[in-house]
Amino acid sequence: MKYFLSVVLVSLLFSCNSSAQKNDTKKSQVFPISKTEAEWKKELTAEQFYVMREAGTERAFSSPLDKNYKKGTYVCAACETPLYLSDHKFDSGTGWPSFDRVIEGNVDFGTDNDLGFSRNEEHCANCGAHLGHVFDDGPGDTTGKRHCINGTSLKFIPEA
């Protein structure tokens, strides 16, 4: 039983977590908002730069947005493009904010093979910021998708 729990825990941690989640095709893509690394470093915190520009991952359970259940919109922390609605957020238990769908047209997808297998990476369609990954283990009563997103990549705008 201890072995089984260890395997489950390690699987959950690696399903969203990697320090090397770079997508080379994204680097060559041109986005409507394009800035130099120096400009991004001035605007973002060190953690945001690591996650959003270097495709890193924040520690699980470190974002207050993981347990945020208020009504509103989650926008890109770099350019404020609306990405996810609170109506589509759910508690996946993974330690990262999770959504069952995106706001269409505002999120782009790529492939990340850095862990030795393919994962679907998500990034902001407006500025290219790395957001997280999408998996096929979300709620079965909706889309069946789990958009596993770094909270540091998001800013929450409460409903008025």
Distance (Å, rounded) from C-alpha 42 to C-alpha 155? Answer: 18
Which structure tokens are listed for 7? 């395997």
Q: Is 118 within a domain?
A: yes
Q: From residue 55, how far is each of 40, 44, 109, 121 by CA, in Å?
A: 14, 14, 13, 9
Model confidence pLDDT, tens digit, residues 71-127: 999 999 999 999 999 999 999 999 999 999 999 999 999 988 776 777 899 999 999
List, in sequence order, every beta strand (DSSP E) within the chain.
72-76, 82-85, 89-90, 98-99, 107-112, 119-124, 130-135, 146-149, 154-158
Distance (Å, rounded) from C-alpha 153 to C-alpha 52? Answer: 6
Distance (Å, rounded) from C-alpha 9 to C-alpha 93? Answer: 11
Whose tokens are 């990549």? That residue is: 153
Catalytic residues: 148
Q: Is 131 within a domain?
A: yes
Q: Is 28 within a domain?
A: no
Q: Is 84 within a domain?
A: yes
Model confidence pLDDT, tens digit, residues 46-55: 999 999 999 9
Q: Is 47 within a domain?
A: no
pLDDT of residue 1: 57
Distance (Å, rounded) from C-alpha 25 to C-alpha 15? Answer: 21
Whose tokens are 């996946």? That residue is: 92
Number of domains in the chain: 1
Predicted TM-score of the model (pTM): 0.82
Average pLDDT, the chain: 87
Best-predicted range by mean pLDDT (29-33, 101-105, 115-119, 140-144): 101-105
Q: What is the CATH number of the domain that holds 141?
A: 2.170.150.20
Q: Are 110 and 158 in contact (CB under 8 A)?
A: no
**Mean pLDDT across 16-31:** 54
Non-local (6+) Cβ contacts of 111 within 8 A are 23, 25, 118, 119, 120, 121
Which residue range forms the structural domain that includes residue 88?
60-158
Q: Is 20 within a domain?
A: no
Q: Is 22 within a domain?
A: no
Q: Is 92 within a domain?
A: yes
